[in-house]
């Protein structure tokens, strides 16, 4: 082989990216007490790209992301990482892969991809939707996806500021669904169910009941080497609940999971996860007093020595290019 070509290849910026990024990550997140834990957050891995959510990974893209992550980081399960962080014994470039909510595609697509890469992920399950349930946001998404009308009149449904939704093009459908999600997001849960139910009825659509995992699939995840964590029963905004109801959401989701899995469940993820907005200091105290080992938010950043163990930060880049994705993960370590 021509040595000049070989040298040329090894100096190519694309070939240099992985070693350079690993070196930067090792400086920003060294082993031991100065370590920093990155926690990536995902929700779904679709069989095929979802035109309504072009930034959400499909199986092929998730496979690519897993290959990047294991090249750059030392990927470990969150329960292990939490103990290592507490003890000041994180490996260099430590990263966990987490999923929220309990979608069936986590079992069908995310787990096999993780297993093929020899990785473990941590999956937070909203237990009330297992076995045929559907989260309110999916009622909205699937209504907008399946509605056969070009326009949907939502006047009088209780979606503030919305009257007529244009559904002619894919872009219009995407806009419409985000407008409905925003209008419904902070309605009281019972009212919200009513409103999105009425929306689906007016659109005259048949909605799927197999979006979330079954009990058997949750059990298969644990048997397949994945870690399962609690994510409440009904996925409420905890900040909007009284303390007894919030406590019940945490306790019941954990005991349900423990009953299904016949093992301890030690991790918790706050629904929606924005501090001060979606959960309160009260809920942080609850997670701690109920004996969870750690809890995760959706606040971006990484977690160093002394990080609040009941508000661990999570972050996932959305970029498609490898260098952007990797650089953003490195920048996330500055927090
Ligand atoms: Zn969630």
DSSP codes joined into one string, 195-235: HHHHHHHHHT-PPPS-SBPPHHHHHHHHHTT-EEEE--SS-
Q: What residues have CB less than 8 Å from 273, skipping those under 6 apart?
A: 100, 279, 296, 297, 298, 299, 314
DSSP three-state, residue 303: strand
Task: Report residue 287 as tokens.
Answer: 């997670």
* pLDDT value at residue 41: 97
Question: What's the CATH superfamily of 28-132+210-332?
Answer: Glycoside hydrolase/deacetylase (3.20.20.370)
Q: How far is the CA of 168 from the centre of ligand 1 (A)?
A: 30
* pLDDT value at residue 11: 66
Q: How far is the CA of 267 from the centre of ligand 1 (A)?
A: 14
Task: Give the Cα separation of 28 and 26 in Å (integer).
Answer: 6
What is the average pLDDT across 275-289?
A: 97
* pLDDT value at residue 195: 96
* pLDDT value at residue 335: 72
The string of pLDDT tens digits covering residues 31-71 is 999 999 999 999 999 999 999 998 899 999 999 999 999 99
* pLDDT value at residue 200: 96
Q: How far is the CA of 320 from the centre of ligand 1 (A)?
A: 23
* pLDDT value at residue 196: 96
Q: How far is the CA of 1 from the centre of ligand 1 (A)?
A: 53
Please determine, for residue 157, whether its predicted confidence score (pLDDT) is greater than 50: yes
The string of pLDDT tens digits covering residues 210-258 is 999 999 999 999 999 999 999 999 999 999 999 999 999 999 999 999 9
Please determine, for residue 6, whether its predicted confidence score (pLDDT) is greater than 70: no
Q: How far is the CA of 316 from the centre of ligand 1 (A)?
A: 15
pTM of the model: 0.94
Please determine, for residue 160, whether its predicted confidence score (pLDDT) is greater than 70: yes
Q: How far is the CA of 93 from the centre of ligand 1 (A)?
A: 26
Q: Which residues surround ligand 1, an ion (CB under 5 A)?
A: 100-101, 271
* pLDDT value at residue 279: 97
Q: How far is the CA of 32 from the centre of ligand 1 (A)?
A: 31
Q: How far is the CA of 24 from the centre of ligand 1 (A)?
A: 32
* Residue-wise DSSP of 254-287: HHHHHHHHTS---EEE-SS--BTTTB-HHHHHHH
Task: Give the Cα separation of 49 and 57 in Å (integer).
Answer: 7
Query: Domain map of the chain by residue range?
Result: 28-132+210-332, 136-203
Please determine, for residue 189, whether its predicted confidence score (pLDDT) is greater than 90: no
What is the average pLDDT across 149-176?
A: 94
Q: How far is the CA of 99 from the centre of ligand 1 (A)?
A: 9
Q: How far is the CA of 274 from the centre of ligand 1 (A)?
A: 11
* pLDDT value at residue 68: 97
> What is the number of residues in the chain?
335
* pLDDT value at residue 9: 53
Q: Exposed, middle or buried: residue 58 (CB in 10 Å: 0-12, 13-18, 19+)?
A: middle
What is the average pLDDT across 81-107?
A: 98
Task: Give the Cα separation of 325 and 335 in Å (integer).
Answer: 17
Q: How far is the CA of 212 from the centre of ligand 1 (A)?
A: 12
Please determine, for residue 4, whether its predicted confidence score (pLDDT) is greater than 60: no
Which residue in 136, 173, 171, 175 sits closest to 151, CA to CA?
173
Q: How far is the CA of 124 from the centre of ligand 1 (A)?
A: 8
Q: How far is the CA of 271 from the centre of ligand 1 (A)?
A: 5
Q: How far is the CA of 15 from the centre of ligand 1 (A)?
A: 37
Q: How far is the CA of 298 from the centre of ligand 1 (A)?
A: 10
**How many other β-carbons are positioned within 10 Å of the β-carbon of residue 318?**
11
Q: How far is the CA of 33 from the centre of ligand 1 (A)?
A: 31
Please determine, for residue 148, whether its predicted confidence score (pLDDT) is greater than 80: yes
Q: How far is the CA of 102 from the centre of ligand 1 (A)?
A: 8
Please determine, for residue 7, whether its predicted confidence score (pLDDT) is greater than 80: no
Contact between residue 73 and residue 94 where contact means Cβ atoms under 8 Å apart: yes
Averaged pLDDT of the chain: 94
Q: How far is the CA of 231 from the centre of ligand 1 (A)?
A: 7
Q: How far is the CA of 122 from the centre of ligand 1 (A)?
A: 13
Question: Alpha-carbon Rg of the chain, whole angstroms?
Answer: 21
């Amino acid at each position: 082989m021509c040595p000049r070509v070989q040298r040329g290849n090894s100096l190519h910026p694309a070939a240099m990216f992985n070693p350079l990024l690993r070196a930067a990550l090792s400086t920003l997140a060294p082993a031991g007490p100065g370590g920093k834990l990155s926690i990536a957050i995902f929700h779904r891995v679709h069989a095929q790209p979802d035109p309504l959510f072009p930034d959400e990974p499909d199986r092929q893209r998730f496979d690519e992301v897993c290959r990047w992550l294991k090249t750059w980081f030392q990927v470990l399960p969150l329960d292990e990482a939490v103990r290592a962080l507490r003890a000041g014994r994180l490996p260099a470039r430590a990263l966990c892969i987490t999923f929220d909510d309990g979608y069936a595609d986590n079992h069908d697509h995310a787990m096999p991809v993780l297993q093929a890469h020899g990785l473990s992920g941590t999956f937070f399950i909203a237990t009330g939707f297992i076995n045929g349930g559907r989260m309110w946001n999916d009622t909205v998404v699937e209504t907008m996806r399946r509605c056969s009308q070009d326009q949907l009149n939502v006047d009088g449904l209780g979606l503030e500021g919305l009257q007529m939704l244009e559904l002619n093009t894919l872009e219009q459908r995407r806009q419409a669904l985000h407008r409905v999600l925003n209008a419904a997001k902070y309605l009281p849960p019972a009212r919200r169910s009513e409103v999105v139910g009425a929306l689906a009825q007016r659109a005259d659509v048949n909605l799927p009941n197999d979006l979330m995992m079954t009990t058997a699939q949750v059990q298969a995840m644990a048997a397949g080497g994945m870690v399962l964590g609690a994510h409440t029963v009904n996925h409420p905004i905890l900040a909007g609940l009284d303390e007894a109801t919030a406590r019940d959401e945490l306790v019941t989701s954990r005991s349900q999971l423990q009953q299904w899995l016949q093992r301890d469940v030690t991790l918790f993820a706050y629904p929606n996860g924005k501090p001060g907005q979606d959960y309160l200091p009260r809920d942080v105290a609850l997670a701690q007093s109920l004996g969870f080992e750690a809890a995760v938010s959706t606040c971006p950043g990484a977690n160093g020595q002394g990080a609040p163990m009941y508000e661990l930060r999570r972050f996932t880049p959305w970029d498609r290019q490898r260098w952007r994705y990797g650089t953003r993960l490195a920048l996330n370590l500055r927090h």
